[in-house]
Amino acid sequence: MELVGTQVTVPGSRGHGILRYYGPIDGKAGVFGGIELIGPLASSRGKNSGDVDGVRYFDVKVPQTGLFIPWERLRSSNPQLDSGTGGRISRSSSGNGRQLLIAKRSTQSTPEKTRDSRQEAMFYKQQYEALKEESEKKSAILAELQRTVAELEPLLEEYERDLQERDKKLAKQRAEFERARENWRESMDLMSSTQQETELFYEEKLKELEGGPQVEELKKAHQKEVDELQRKLEASQKRAESLEKQLEAEKNQVERKALDDISTKMAHTSLNNHQNQLPIYEPKKHTDPSTGRDNWCGLCEQDGHVASECPFENDAF
């Protein structure tokens, strides 16, 4: 009987694997069996890729699907294994460190080749089914995202149109404000120029009439006109400030209304999507496998000891 290539039952589980190595491990006492796990057990129990502390003892097809188990423990779950036969342990060196390998027979019988081929085919089939299931899940998620995008595109287009319309209104109001401010500046310049001309005119008149009886009357008339022009100037300044405040308030009101409309539509869309989702099923009562058992190990799921004292997991690495 040849050990390497034999399908074995993994102790403490219902899963299987392929025996890839039989022999000692550097730094470990005793003889070990190196197993390449297959099926669902590979992802849950796999601990290495056939190597320990930088030394490779066997190769695996899928990373992290290797497991080393003490030989006697492996034999206890696989009575068909014979520790006295199964190949000679050879030692060889490579660039990665000393390797321990089982020398396989140079030839294999047809039934053994057929068995290995079936085991390999089963392994690839299981991997294919797992990848297929994962691909279907990703396709479903992608389809859901595409539907969500299709639902949001019309809303985004509508929001874009609303923003463009509000931008046009703001641009129009800004242009009107600029025209009003320019008119106010022209009026201010005109009033200032008129005031200067008036002051010069009355100064000349005062010089002409200086010392005459009409000087006081001219001064009073001139001061009255100056006060009137000053009053108009202040009124124009207040009106310009009022226009600026009014324009700023209208601008803020338009922006707040745009943001409120967008938030309302987004909230309505999110609520519709949430209402269309199916509720997640939750069982009314959760089952605890350790109920009614004093000593129950959650690692190997057996009676008689607790997880910290598990003899089946503490010697596996």
Domain assignment present for residue 124? The answer is no
- CA–CA gap between residue 157 and residue 1 (Å, rounded): 73
Question: What is the spatial distance between Cα 23 and Cα 30, in angstroms, rounded to a whole number?
Answer: 8
Q: How many independent structural domains does the chain possess?
A: 2
Q: Within this chain, do residues 76 and 175 fall inside the same structural domain, yes or no? A: no
Q: Are residues 193 and 93 in the same domain?
A: no
Is residue 25, in this structure, part of any structural domain at all? Answer: yes
pLDDT in tens, 89-129: 333 323 333 333 333 333 345 665 676 677 677 767 877 88
| Statement to judge: residues 178 and 61 lie in one domain | no
For residue 218, is it within any domain? yes
Is 298 inside a domain boundary?
no
H/E element, 88: strand 88-94
Task: Give pLDDT tens digits for 48-63.
Answer: 999 999 999 999 999 9
Q: Which single residue is written with the structure tokens 């190196």?
A: 34
- Structural tokens at position 44: 């849950």
Residue 72 sits in the same domain as residue 156? no
**Residue 111 pLDDT:** 62
Q: How far apart are CA 308 and CA 305, in angstroms?
A: 8
**Domain final position from 239, 258, 275:** 275
My answer on whether 85 and 178 are in the same domain is no
Q: From CA 62, how far away is CA 39, in angstroms rounded?
A: 11
What are 310's two structure tokens?
Answer: 């598990």
Q: Domain limits at 235?
A: 145-275
User: What rounded mean pLDDT belongs to the chain?
Assistant: 79
196-211 as b/e, with b when 16 or more CB fall inside 10 Å?
eeeeeebeeeeeeeee
Beta carbons within 10 angstroms of residue 101's beta carbon: 19
Nearest C-alpha neighbor of 82 from the set 13, 136, 195, 1: 1
**Span of 81-95, 122-136, 237-251 with lowest mean pLDDT:** 81-95
Give the torsion sign (CA, 204, 205, 208, 209).
negative
Domain boundary among 52, 83, 105: 105
* In-domain check, residue 250: yes
